Structures are given as structure tokens and as C-alpha cells.
Structure 1
Amino acid sequence: MNIRKTVKKIAALVAGTTMLGATIMGAAADLSDYPAPFVTNGVFDGKIVVGASAATSDVVGAIDIAASLQAEATSTQEISIPGIAGMASVTGDAAEFKTGSDIVRIGESIGDVKQTFTHNDLDALASGVFDTGESSTPVKQYLKFGNTTASVVYEQNGDDEVMDYLKFDDGSFMFEYHMEFTEGAVSDIGTGGALDDLESEVITLLGAPFTIVDATVDGSELDLSMLGGEVADTLRDGETKTYTIDGKDYEVTAVFISSSSPESAKLSVNGMLTKELEEGETDVLGADVTIGVQEILTNQREGIVEFYLGANKLEIRDSDFTNGAYAEETVKVGGERIDNAWLDLKATNTTDELTLNYIKYKVAADDDYWIPPGKGLKEFLDEPESMITDTWDVLYAGLMKSSVTTIEFNSVSDHSYKLEFENYNGDVYDFPLLTNKDGTYKYGDDDDDLLFIEPYSRTPTGGDNDTFVSDDDYFVVSDGAVDINSDTAVVNVMRYKSISTGDSTVTFEDLAADVVVVSFTGTPGAGASGELIVAGASHTFWVGGVGTGQEDYALAIDLDGDGGINSKKVLLVTRGGGIIDLGTQTFTGANNCTGGGCNPDVALTANTVINISTPIDNFDESTDAGTTWLSVAITNITAGNEIDLDVTEPSLYEWHEDEDYDRGMTSYGVFVEEYNPSGTEANEAIIEYPLAQRGGQAFVVAGTVSVQEGTAAGGGSVTTEVVNPIAVGLAVLDTDAPALGSKNMIMVGGPCVNTVAAELMGNPEVCTEGFTPGKAVIKLYTAQNALLVAGYSAQDTLGASYVLSDYEDYDLTGTEVEVVVTSLRDIDVNPVS
């Protein structure tokens, strides 16, 4: 038998104890400014004064007050994070799928980044204690996402809308919820398998309180029924109260309460009558309100009904609580069975006692769900009740904001392409890439070539057979060796403009800067050479002669600045670290380059694939190496000497706002848009390469939250709550206190035990003057910057300290309130007019 529970029920019946979950009309709703002025802008300023001769309980009260003030001594701080994408922040009870620097990469499961959320992450998962009267056990809650395939994607949803989403796949588990009773919740097994010690106990699931209204065991089957809601209160027979939920008033009347077995009640909500309800039953009135009866108590004179308004009934059943395994068991919310729900109730039992160890619950998606930025999972579920309560959600805040650099493949009519990109230093280059004009498919334009590969590995002699850059040709140089993991090389696109043999100079043009005139020494065709300095790197060039198959005064150039010509390919490096591989370039007489110089081979293959990749070190995780490629295939169309392109990777989707555009995104967050004009013009592509990895941001949220977008910059900021520690010396004895009025002070204890309190009250001759047994006061003395917390007895003072510590639970209005301390478990607060 649970004596504590029985006493509680009797007290409720006799005294009409009321538990409120919403605003009762007519009651004062405004609060005082406390903890101001003792905490201002998140910083404590003041002293707590305790009498040197005070009882120990005064010290206990002061400690509680100090603890509550420390909890309020916090402030928000915006922390700048240089060199990363701007991140959204969520204010409220929220936790992000993020572990250290590991973010949710596009295409990555959110559970791979963060599998489990606990009380350390969310207040809604707070730990607690569950006391059945037979036992008391700590309770822990977890939300788990290790088995979900939910990921951030950039694709087309079921309505053909192309954008980024948090996607939950049909058939995959969306989440798991665990509640563990670490030492076991114990109940006697009564008549008919009733677990009386579990019934009427309150259990908090995901931040929402539920009362167990029915609990039974039958063999290895365990059934639990619970009621929760917006308002929990009690009404006497015929009594009426008004409640406000989400701005709407609900007038509830207990029309009658029947003591006949089984006990029942009939209620009215805004004039609508419920059916006759027994304990644990609910009724839906109209379209927006559910009411449920938790408990009915009657005696010979009257009855009282404990009910929930906005009720949520949860029923769970495990047909075998001994096997510790998930099964598709019965889970009902609001009387409706949840599809694809899996449940595991684990318990042990004897003939007369059952111990509940844990509740585990998970739900599989019954369709593909695409969650757009700013939205939550619950809104898109066919059965939002499957999330058990409406107190929590999985929110997708969208992609991180990042500045970008653009890479453009622009068509020239239907026969050529130009490439535009921004190098590591921010210099923008726009140059001929490929052409098929007049049926000659090659790098460059129809008149001049583009060189980005050194054709051989040897030291040039300056002879004609060594040269490969002719007059007006374009060539690419870098300040060091470049491979797919070199993201800091400075790459420049140059042009060989002219030569003056009279003064031994060569003129080069940096396409993003100025013309450069460079001297050379020696005789052209016989070892003449010079040094071209670009971006601080030296590139040796050799000058060829005249009258051979190669154009007059062609050059051989060290493209990568390593001091020689070694068959190196120069890769383009963009701002932000993107690597552009222009493809394969071959030469006539490859390696030997005999027979009149090294001419770029014009016989390119039908498809030239240009790859854009991201170095491994730029990812949040090194395991992502090689997973992000963007491939542009440029095709030689022999009929009509045309050219075209197609982005083959990543997957592109027709944009829902204009069918001429296809869009996609790599796992690094590189956005690509391909333009497919309806006429005969060649396709074009524009690529936005982020300056930092652009991942997705998903949060588990509870209650009311707000989302602040990150800024579109190379860096971002996050807002965090900072605890401002209260310095040592917070509490002082009255004998050491500063002068009254010189500092904000909270006096704990009255004039009999606290000399500063006595001074504050004018040093009354009788120290108990104005105090009544069983009562205390909390009084603000504005002129003295002081707050008095004092009672007739030490217990009364401690009761008032409890009230001040939990000030948010009480109406502390005006400058003074009376605290009635019947016991430390039975405290009331009354305003003083």
C-alpha cells in the first residue's frame, strides 16, 4: 500500500488542492522584477546577509537563494568563428546534430554525426526520480538517431521542387526514444494484475508530464495507459473555472460526479457536454479540444474530479516484456494506433511484484519526407502523433551560409567555350577554354592554343624541338606543384604577346593584371632563356628560333615553377580551394617533340571531362577524401562543328521554376546550375564554390524556439549562454555586512537574529513585532536597496527562502508578500495590499 499517495488523495478531496497548467482568469499574471536589481545584465551585484546568531536553517535558506541567483547570472554571448561558414543559431531548448568540428555533410546521415541526445543536450530530456512508494529510482531519457538514414540532400522532392532538404527515407527509422528506470520502478501486483503503485504517478516524457491512469500485467504482457495535457486541475461537483490555452479561453464545469461504481464524471467545456467519463477515459469536443479524466474521488458529501484539458492519451502494450526486444507492438496516441511503431518494454516480475526497467520506442517513416529549411519533421508526418507529444521536433535550419566564388563555362555561339574563375588571390580570369570552330576541336580558341601541361621531362636546350608556346598562345602557371590536395597554390593565366629580338625582351600578358616585359639572354634557338616572375614564383623560359615547323620564336616554359620541364600538369586553384583539372592534353611527337617543335594535338577525344574537386583537408572529416567531384563533360559535335556540355556529376534536377535550368550540389556544398537553352545555343554552367564547407544544420528542439540565420561570409557566429560566476564573498554575516543602503542586500532572518534586518526595520523594541507564528514576509525596501526574507520562526524564514528561490513559481507582486508556512511542504503566498 502506498500510504503517501493515499494521504495525498485525501488532502486533495478535503482541501480541494488545485494543480494549474494554464492561466486561471482573474488571477494576477504579472511578476515582480526579481531577481533585479540583484542580477542585472546577467551579473550578480549584492550581498546575502545572515545573522551570526541565526539558526542553521537560515544558512540553508541563504544557500538556496544563492543557488537560484547563480542560475540567473547568465548572459548570451556571440562568438565569432573566423574562416568557417556562417551558422544558424537556435534560441531555446535545442541541440544541434554536430560533434566538435564534425558537421552534417550533404548526403551524410545525421546519426553519423550525433547518435544520442541526453539531459546534457536538452532540458526536455531531464533526468529525474520516479517514486512508486514501493521503490524510488533515477530516471534517464535519451533520443537516439543511430539507426536513421535521415540526411541532408539537394534534390527534387515529391512535388518536383528542387532545393536542399532534410530527408527521411520511406521505411527507415526516424528516431528512437528511451526511458530508463536505472534501479527499477517497483509495484505490487494486485487483483486482476493491477499495478496499483504505478497508477496515479506522474512520468515526464520528452518534457511533457503524463499521469499513469492504468497499469496491468497479464502473464508476460504489460499494458500502460497515461494521460497528459495542457492543463491539469481539479473541480468539485458543480464548480466552474476558466483556462486559457494558446490565447483561447475554455470554461470548464464539473456538471456531475457520480460515486456509483465505477465512479464517473460528466464535464462541460464552453457549453459542450462530454460523455460520461470514467478514470483514464477521454472525449473530443468540437475540433480543437480533448478532455480526459485522470481520477475521481468521492465521499458521502461531495466529489472531486482530476482532469486534463487538451488531453493526450498514450497507451502502450508489450506482449512479451521479458525478451528485451523490439516488436511492432500496440502504441496508441489519442486512441489512434500508430503505424510502423516498434516498442520494447523491459520488466521482471515475481508472483506478487513487477519491476519496470525501461521503455524503448521507435517509429519508421511510412513515406519519403523532405523537410525544407525552417520546417520541422512533425509538420510533414502523416501521423504526427507518432512523436508521442507535441513538445519536441526535429528542425532543419538549412545549409550553412558561406561566401562563394564562381566558376563559369560560358558559350561562344555554339562552337566554343570560355572559362571564368577566381584564383587563390582573388584575381578573376576569363579565357578561351575549348573550341570546335571550323571543325578543329582543341584547347584555346580557333586561332590560339591553351597550354597547361609540360610536354616532356628534360632540360630544354632552347632548340625548336623544345618549344611549345607560340605567339598569342595562352598558358597557365602556378607558384608551386599542384595536385588534388594542393589548395593554396596561386595559379595565373598568361598570354605570350610578342618578342623583340633587337632588345632581347619578351612581352607577356597576365589576363587579370598587366603586361609584363621580360628580358632574355642568348641567341634564340640556341639556348636563349629568361625568367618570368608571376605571383612571386620564377618560371624559366627558353626562346626558340625561326624558319622551322614551329612558329617563329616559340617558347618552352616551366609552368609549375619547379626549375625545369618535367611533364607536369598545372591544375587551376580557385579561391576557397577548389581544384579544376582541365583534362588531358597531348602533343605531336610526345616526349621527343621532334620534327618541328611540340604542337598541342588538335585531335581531342569526343568528350573532354573537366573535374572540379575539393582537397581532403578542407572537409570536416578526412574520411571524405574523393567523395566530392563535379564533372563537366564537353562534347565535340562533328555535325555543324558545334560544341556542348553536360554536368555529369553531381546529379542534376530540373528546376521547378524554369525548365531550362538544372540544379545540383556536391557533398561539399558546391552548387551547380546548368542552362539548357531551348534553341541551338550551347549549354552553359555556373558553379558556386563555397569558401568553406557548406553543411546542413539540423536540431532537436523542444518547446518554443527561434532560429537566427547565419551570415553569408567566410566566417560566422554562434550565440551561446555564458555563466557569470558569482565571486567568493556573496554571503556575509550581519557583523561583517556593509552599511545599509550602500549595496544591494538580501537579509535572511528577522530582527531577532539579524542586526542588519533589525536596522532595516527601525530596530523594534520587541524583535517579533509585526511577525505572526506560521508566517513570513518577503519585503522590498527600495530606498535601502534591500530585500527582507524573514519569518516568526526559523522554519518560517526557511519557507520564505524556498519561495524566493523558486520565485518563478509564485506571484511575487508589489513590494511585499506574505508567506504562510503550514509546513515546508505546504507553503502559500498572499499579496499584501
Structure 2
Amino acid sequence: MKIRKAVKKIVALTAGVTMLGATIMGAAAADLASYPEPFVKDGQANAVVVVGEQAATADVVGAIDIAASLQAAAVSETSVSVSGTGVTVTGGKDKEIALGDTLGASFGTLDDNDVSVLKDEKISWNEEDLDVDETVTVSGVKVLTSADDKDFGAEIFLGTNTATGAIEYKYTIDDKDLNTSLVDEDEPLKVDILGRTLEIEKVSSNQITVTTANEYFLNVGDSVTVDGKKVTLVKVGSGATEAVVVDVNGEVKSISGSSSEKVNGIRVQIESTFADDDSSLSSATLKIGDKITDEIKNGDHMELFGEPDSNDAEWDWIIDGSSSNKLVIGATHSLNLNSDTKDVRAIGEPIELPDAYAKVEIASLTAEADKEVTVSFEDGLTVDKDAAGDDIESIDGKPALKFEAANEEDLFEIDANGNPETSEIVYLIANSTSEVVGAFENGDGDIQLFDAGGLFVIANDEMKINVTFNETDDQAAVAMTGFNSLDASSGTISLIANITQQFFGAKEGEEEAGEVSGTVGVVGTTDEDFRTTFGTVIYNVEDGLQSDEFKFAIPSEQVKANVVIVGSEGTVAGGEAGSVTTQSVNAIAVGLGMLDSEFTVGSQNAIVVGGPCANTAAAELLGNPANCVEGFEAGKAMIKLFETDGTTSMLVAGFSAQDTQGATRVVSQYDMYDLSGSEATVVVTSLSDINLE
């Protein structure tokens, strides 16, 4: 369909058309740009679709299209909290890891049963089949929080707790038929390390010699480009000693025997030759590269896999050939990733083995600290009810410490005269300097005392925090216990609050570490958000106290990290905890469609399909013109809004039935057109060529 988005805005009525009982909508009213409003409101259909009793079939088809589009628009959106636990891993393994924990105990040693890219196979060497297996360990990888580095704030990261060996990959040949002393250039050992083939020519206790140059088979006259230089085989010698002549970017040199020669910066070594009397049929297999072989020692940086030859290298070699029947080649992680300056990985950012052979990452969190509580001061508080719910007047205009849950959620559990109650607000009221009473906002909005005993509870599903206070001292610490447990057994924060004088700490206006203390790890001068290892979040303490408030958020369960280890062939699907928006379709009730003979203009919102010749409602909207095609033009249709007695009608009509149907398609596919104003003109060349004028 061809779509042009230039709308003709009509600001005056068509000459000769008199409006009787209906007026075209004014500038202050909703316009076509708001469609499907007002015909769909708050996710519910709010109109009828009217067709003429004698209408053409095309009008009915167009009305059906509009009705279908209204149903598609009749949806309600709801924000739903999701835990983020829906992680699906193929070709790998996943575990829930507590914040602050290392991965080793949960993952152990990973092999081909855990990560599909890892091998357990046999390779051939010296006419023997040797047993090979690959493993990965992640013993030093850790889920980091602000307990590891305060600059992390409330964010969770993946890092390490050791400078070397946090992750280790090992390719192990352990077979009685292996004799490492017999590995040489005539009987090399070919292995696939991290998915890359290496040819080993020599093995010692902590070192291997590998071929780093590629092999090329060339006929005389053939060329190959290596490291940007053109290498041409010029001639193959026919003597007892193998010999060739090569040309490297114009530098010609003869090479013989098994030693390599550097030609114009490129090393060339003969692997084999074939000499024929017809020189054009001669050929050679050559090793060509920057280096022919390389010696790799245990602990060397993995330059062969792109690591720098410096302390910035993330991976070092593991080489262990101390046993003649066993050879271990691998990679060990060599950087301590433990602070915001040392390349820790955020959620979804992996630590990768060389060549991205496998990776470990936090895919998501199992839950989030989603219930917020703010502690602040309030003055002039009056209590309406005692704990039994009876009226009292004895506590009036008093200062208080206020605990308030965000979003009007009833997070607080209290005991009022033996009856358990919940509330979104709790007060600790200083009735005097030696008397502090607890109160809450009850369901009627009254402030009611509760039987404190110096205690109330903050609860979010499974998680509970006990709040204790001194009922005989308005300046004593308020202790909140449960920031690191479900059962309020561990993780205490003590908050010094002078309720009567309305400030935190011992001295007003002074920043003090002691304003906040406890076992969680935050103090009054903590200047970043802080997440405990259980998952609770304490927001910037220092800034909050300067504004006379203390704010935190608690989860409904212990927050853990969904950690995955997956190979290059595997996949990870899933997301973080948070919220998603869902849509619910609100079914439109029977009666959406009406005949013109059943409908009264102004009785309700309506979409009127068809012109005055076929629809009496359309005729009424247009003032019942004597000539029912007055104002219409062949090949065109109108979409026009009218206001009648507080209702809105939209006329969708054309000169012919096809013109009308074309306009209904514009309405049905409104998001594809720039509809605006009170009227639009539709040009209908055909039902596949519909445009706005």
C-alpha cells in the first residue's frame, strides 16, 4: 500500500452544508491525532459503529475492519514485578549465588557434561589414540557488592578475589601411550587449545615449542599473501638437499635444508618439496610467518591469543609437562578484578576465556529490593485513637520520627491492643523527653497508638526487619535488625535520632559517622548507596541525613545472582529483576455494531460508516442535505469529527462504496497515517493505493 503522510486540514465548513444539531469539533476538542480516543477510553470500548440498513456490502466490510481495530486498541496495561529468575541456558550451567560469595563451591570443576564446548575425546599421535579432556574452574570468581568496594553503590558486579587462578582452563592429555620426550618436529603433537589448533614440536617440564607459522602448498609460480607481503615460489631444487627459491615482495632468496630463513621480514621454512624435470610441475609445502616456532613457558602472557606482553595481560599460560605420560596446557586468569577501577563486570557483561571460548557472567538477579522506606521527622502530630481505638486528646502537637512506605504500601506490622495491624506509616512520638510512644495511621486515616513494647516490624513477604526503640528516651538509638536475613536475626543498623529536637545524631548540623552504625557496613558519613550481601539497599546516607531523612529498600527474599557459565556454542536467555508491562485485552461486548435505524445521533459516541445516501445517521450529521452526494467527490472520502450533546461522532464516508471502504482502512490502520485536526480527506485510487490529501 502506498502511504503519503500529508494531511489536508479543513478549517471551514464546505459551502452549502448546514449543520443541524451537530457541529464540527472545535480547536479545544480532541482531534483525529488522538484516535482511537475517545472511542476507546481507559482500555475499554466507548462507542458504537453505525452502518446503514441499506448499506453496500463494502460499507459493512469497512465497519468490520474498524471494529477489529477498536478491539485491538481496547487493552489495559499493568506493571508487573518480575524476579529475573527466568534464566535459560543451553550448552552451559547456571547457579544462584549469594551476593558476596565465590563461585567455586557451587560450580566445582566443569567438564563436557556441564559446558558443551569442552571436549572429552581422543586425538591421534605416533599411531596411538590419546585420551583428552578439557575442564574449567572458577574458584576465585566472586559476586561483588559495596561491601567489597563502597564505590559500587547498590550495583552488583562480577569480579575476582585473587590475582591469579580465579579462572583456570586446562587441556589435559593423560594417557600411558603418550611419551612427551618423543614429541618433535617429525612427530609433532597436534592439539586444539581453546578451539585453536596448535602443533607442538617439543615438550619439557614447564615449556612447549609450538609451530606458529601456517603451512602453504605452492606450485612454482604460485603466490600467497602473509602479513601483507606477497610470497612467490620461484623454483624448486632437484638436488639431494631440499631447496627452494622464493620471492617476498621483490626480495629473492634461496632456502635449503630444514632451517628457516628470513626474507624481507618474513620467515620461510621448507616442510617438503617435489621437483620435476618440467619445472612448472614442481611444488613445495612451506611454513611461512613472522615466526616459525615459538617457545611458551608456564606463566607467560598469552600473546598467541592476543594478550599484551605486560602486567595488563588478563590470561597467562599453564604448561605442565613434568610427567612423560601427561601434558597439561591451559590458561589462568591473571588480573584481580575487585574494584571499580579494575574492570569488574556488570550484570550481563562476561569474563571471557581467550578467543571467547567460554564465558562466566551474571545474567540477572533473582529478586530486587523493591519496597522503599523513608525515615524522617514530623512535628505537630496529634494522636486520634488509643490502642483500643477509642478517642483520646492527651497527645497533641508532638514531634515524631516518621517511618513511611513508598507507594502507600502496608509494610509495617504492629500490635494494637492485641490485634495485629498493618500500616503504611508508623510514628515514634516524643510525648516528652522521657516518653516515646508508637503510633500508626489506621485504615480510617486516624493516628492510633499501638502496644509497642518498644518494637514494630517492617515486612516484605518473607523478609522482616525488627525495629526497636527506647520508650523512655527521646534521643536513644533506633535499632533496625534484619538487613542481612529473612528472620530479622542479623544485620543491624542503629540510627541516632533526637525526636524532640528533630535532627539525627548527637549534635545538630554536624556530620557524624556515629549517626548511623551497626553490623551492616554503613555509617553516617557513607556517601554512596550501599547494598548488603542479603540484597537490601541503603541509599546515600550522608546526603540523606543532611536532608533529615534516612532511606532504604528491602527485597521480599534474599537477592542472589543468576550466574551462568557457557561455551561459545551456548546461549543465555533471561533478564534482570524489575518490572514489565503486560497488556490485557478487554473484550468488547455484543452490541458494538448498530444499524442507522437503531441509532440516535448524540445518544453516545459513534463511528458512522457510509455517506448520507446509505446511512441516515450520516445524513443527520451533515444536516440532511437535499442532494445526498453534495460535498463528495469521486475517488475521495472524508473522515470528520462532530460533537453533539456532549458526545463525539466520527463520519467515515466516500463518494462510492470503494471510497468509503478505503477511508475505513485508514481508520483501521490509524497508526500508519498522520491523522490530525477535525477532518481528513482520503484519496482512494484503489484499495491498494490509499493516501491522505
Query: TM (normalized to structure 1)?
Result: 0.44
The corresponding residue for 1:393 is 359
The corresponding residue for 2:465 is 580
2:550 partner SS: strand
Aligned mate of 1:429, from 408, 423, 426? 423
Q: Deviations over 1:756-785 (max 9, x none)?
A: xxxxxxxxxxxxxxxxxxxxxxxxxxxxxx
Alignment map for 1:560-599 (pairs within 5 Å)? 571-585=456-470
Distance 1:578 1:171 in 2: 36
Question: Structure 1 residues 150, 403: CA separation in 2 closer, same or farther (over 3 Å shift)?
Answer: closer
The corresponding residue for 1:173 is 165
The corresponding residue for 1:636 is 498
2:175 partner SS: strand
Which residue identity does 1:634 align to in structure 2?
A: I
Alignment map for 1:111-260 (pairs within 5 Å)? 111-146=104-139, 148=140, 150-154=142-146, 163-169=155-161, 171-184=163-176, 186-187=178-179, 189=181, 195-196=184-185, 199=188, 201-206=189-194, 208-217=195-204, 222-227=207-212, 236=219, 238-239=221-222, 254-256=231-233
1:662 partner SS: coil
Q: Which moved more, 1:174-183 or 1:254-263?
A: 254-263
Q: Deviations over 1:685-715 (max 9, x none)?
A: 3322222332123333433766544264699
The CA deviation at 1:442 is 5.2
Question: Structure 1 residues 636, 294: CA separation in 2 closer, same or farther (over 3 Å shift)?
Answer: farther
The CA deviation at 1:572 is 1.3
Question: Structure 1 residues 403, 613: CA separation in 2 closer, same or farther (over 3 Å shift)?
Answer: closer
Distance 1:578 1:632 in 2: 19
1:87 partner SS: coil
Distance 2:247 2:537 in 1: 59
Which residue identity does 1:420 align to in structure 2?
A: E
Matched, 1:345 2:314: no
Matched, 1:371 2:345: yes
Aligned mate of 2:568, from 699, 703, 724? 703
Question: Structure 1 residues 273, 113: CA separation in 2 closer, same or farther (over 3 Å shift)?
Answer: farther
Distance 1:272 1:660 in 2: 68
Distance 1:153 1:275 in 2: 62
Distance 1:274 1:334 in 2: 32
Which residue identity does 1:104 align to in structure 2?
A: I
The corresponding residue for 2:550 is 685
The CA deviation at 1:198 is 5.0
The corresponding residue for 2:372 is 406
Distance 1:653 1:165 in 2: 22
Question: Structure 1 residues 281, 660: CA separation in 2 closer, same or farther (over 3 Å shift)?
Answer: farther
Distance 2:127 2:410 in 1: 72
Tell me if the contact between 2:164 and 2:332 (Cα under 8 Å) persists in the aligned partners. Answer: no
The CA deviation at 1:123 is 2.6
The corresponding residue for 1:106 is 99
Distance 2:251 2:523 in 1: 54
Distance 2:556 2:267 in 1: 56
Question: Structure 1 residues 115, 173: CA separation in 2 closer, same or farther (over 3 Å shift)?
Answer: same
Distance 1:164 1:274 in 2: 60
Distance 1:700 1:282 in 2: 45
The corresponding residue for 1:666 is 532
The CA deviation at 1:227 is 4.2
Question: Structure 1 residues 361, 403: CA separation in 2 closer, same or farther (over 3 Å shift)?
Answer: closer
Distance 1:84 1:615 in 2: 21
The corresponding residue for 1:303 is 284
Which residue identity does 1:304 align to in structure 2?
A: T
Identity %: 13
Alignment map for 1:161-560 (pairs within 5 Å)? 163-169=155-161, 171-184=163-176, 186-187=178-179, 189=181, 195-196=184-185, 199=188, 201-206=189-194, 208-217=195-204, 222-227=207-212, 236=219, 238-239=221-222, 254-256=231-233, 296-300=271-275, 301-305=282-286, 315-317=295-297, 328=299, 333=304, 341=316, 343-349=318-324, 355-359=325-329, 361-365=331-335, 368=338, 369=342, 370-378=344-352, 387-402=353-368, 404-412=370-378, 416-421=400-405, 422-423=409-410, 429-434=423-428, 440=433, 443=436, 449-450=437-438, 474=439, 511-512=442-443
Distance 2:236 2:150 in 1: 55
Distance 1:429 1:130 in 2: 69
Question: Structure 1 residues 675, 221: CA separation in 2 closer, same or farther (over 3 Å shift)?
Answer: closer
Which residue identity does 2:461 align to in structure 1?
A: G
1:123 partner SS: coil
The CA deviation at 1:637 is 8.2
Which residue identity does 1:371 align to in structure 2?
A: R
Tell me if the contact between 2:377 and 2:502 (Cα under 8 Å) persists in the aligned partners. Answer: no
Which residue identity does 1:356 align to in structure 2?
A: K
Which residue identity does 1:636 align to in structure 2?
A: N
The CA deviation at 1:357 is 4.1
Query: TM (normalized to structure 2)?
Result: 0.51
Tell me if the contact between 1:295 and 1:306 (Cα under 8 Å) persists in the aligned partners. Answer: yes
Count of aligned residue pairs for this structure pair: 446
2:482 partner SS: strand
Q: Deviations over 1:728-772 (max 9, x none)?
A: xxxxxxxxxxxxxxxxxxxxxxxxxxxxxxxxxxxxxxxxxxxxx
The CA deviation at 1:428 is 6.8
| Consecutive unaligned residues in structure 1, runs of 5 or more | 1-81, 244-249, 319-327, 350-354, 379-386, 444-448, 451-473, 475-492, 494-509, 517-553, 560-567, 586-599, 618-624, 717-833
Computed over aligned residues only, the root mean square deviation of the Cα atoms, in angstroms, reads 5.3
The structure whose RCO (Cα within 8 Å, separation 6+) is larger is: 2
Distance 1:131 1:681 in 2: 73
Distance 2:102 2:115 in 1: 21
The CA deviation at 1:87 is 2.9
Distance 1:280 1:513 in 2: 95
2:84 partner SS: coil
Distance 1:398 1:431 in 2: 32
The CA deviation at 1:576 is 2.4
